[in-house]
């Protein structure tokens, strides 16, 4: 059986990149830590909120790599000399990735009460009308 993709459909020319984006997104969707919310705050604004309790600003890094928002967290182990009878608070490193659409940019980020808020905005493109001249052969 042949796998049907965007790039292989005869009416969708030039969508090979979308095919790769869908595959990349499917790989990152299986991650489970840390939990997050995605909100649409207006027509062209979004907010991603991650639960990062115990992480400080210096423990977190936010980058955009090839239209992919990557949020990483790594805590330094400060449990030296401490004996835990139970350790239920996760202190493991993480990496969360989100694929950004064309024109979506990071507007800012803030850490507040154990939640990391990353604000995104989409620039509204100007409509372009192009007239194609027909020439004689």
Strand partners, 99: 68
CA 87 – CA 92 distance, rounded (Å): 12
pLDDT in tens, 48-79: 999 998 899 999 999 999 889 999 999 877 66
User: Domain limits of the chain?
Assistant: 1-30, 32-122
pLDDT in tens, 76-104: 776 678 888 987 876 789 999 999 998 99
Residue 29 has pLDDT above 60, yes or no: no
CA 43 – CA 78 distance, rounded (Å): 43
CA 75 – CA 85 distance, rounded (Å): 20
Residue with tokens 């928002």: 69
CA 119 – CA 40 distance, rounded (Å): 10
Q: pLDDT over 90 for what percent of the chain? A: 51
CA 2 – CA 79 distance, rounded (Å): 53
Among the CATH numbers 3.40.50.2300, 2.60.40.790, 3.20.20.10, 2.60.40.1120, which is that of 32-122? 2.60.40.790
Classify residue 61 as left (phi > 0), alpha (psi -120 to 50) or beta: beta
């Amino acid at each position: 059986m042949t796998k049907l993709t965007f790039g292989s459909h005869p009416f969708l020319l030039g969508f090979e990149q979308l095919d790769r984006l869908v595959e990349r997104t499917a790989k990152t969707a299986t991650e489970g830590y840390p939990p997050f919310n995605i909100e649409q705050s207006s027509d062209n604004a979004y907010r991603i909120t991650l639960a990062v309790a115990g992480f400080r600003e210096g423990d977190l890094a936010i980058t955009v790599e090839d239209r992919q928002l990557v949020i990483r967290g790594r805590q330094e182990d400060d449990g030296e000399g401490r004996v835990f009878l139970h350790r239920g608070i996760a202190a493991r490193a993480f990496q969360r990735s989100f694929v950004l659409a064309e024109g979506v940019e990071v507007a800012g980020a803030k850490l507040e009460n154990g939640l990391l808020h990353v604000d995104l905005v989409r620039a509204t493109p100007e409509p372009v009308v192009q007239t194609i001249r027909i020439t004689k052969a």
